[in-house]
Amino acid sequence: MPNIKSAKKRVLIGEAKNARNKAAKSDLKTAIKKFEVAAADGNRTEADGAYKVAVKKVDQAVAKGVLHKNTAAHKKSAMTLKFNQIG
């Protein structure tokens, strides 16, 4: 446990940022899973809406610093390929 006042503040800041990042990651994973389910069902219209939401969430995660830009590009590419496979 830190003894210095500024170190105590840094612990609190770290906890707040950790909670924010955890919420953003959870939101991202939920959006991607919704797309995966829609794509697996083969429902084009539902998958289209879920795809747009998931891509937006990935971009927001990059902007917040939760994901690296190359990781985001990989995820978006994989989702696009799955989306294009739907008849």
What is the residue type of 8?
A: K
- The series of mean pLDDT values per 10 residues for the chain, 87 residues long, is 94 96 96 96 93 97 96 97 91
pLDDT of residue 1: 83
Q: How far is CA 21 from CA 9, 15, 34, 78, in A?
A: 18, 10, 20, 23
The number of folded domains in the chain is 1
Domain housing 33: 5-85
DSSP string, 11-77: HHHHHHHHHHHHHHHHHHHHHHHHHHHHHHHT-HHHHHHHHHHHHHHHHHHHHHTSS-HHHHHHHHH
**Using an 8 Å Cβ cutoff, are 72 and 61 in contact?**
yes
Encoded tokens for 64: 């917040």
pLDDT of residue 20: 95
Q: Can you give the CATH number for the domain in which 68 is found?
A: 1.20.58.110
pLDDT of residue 31: 97
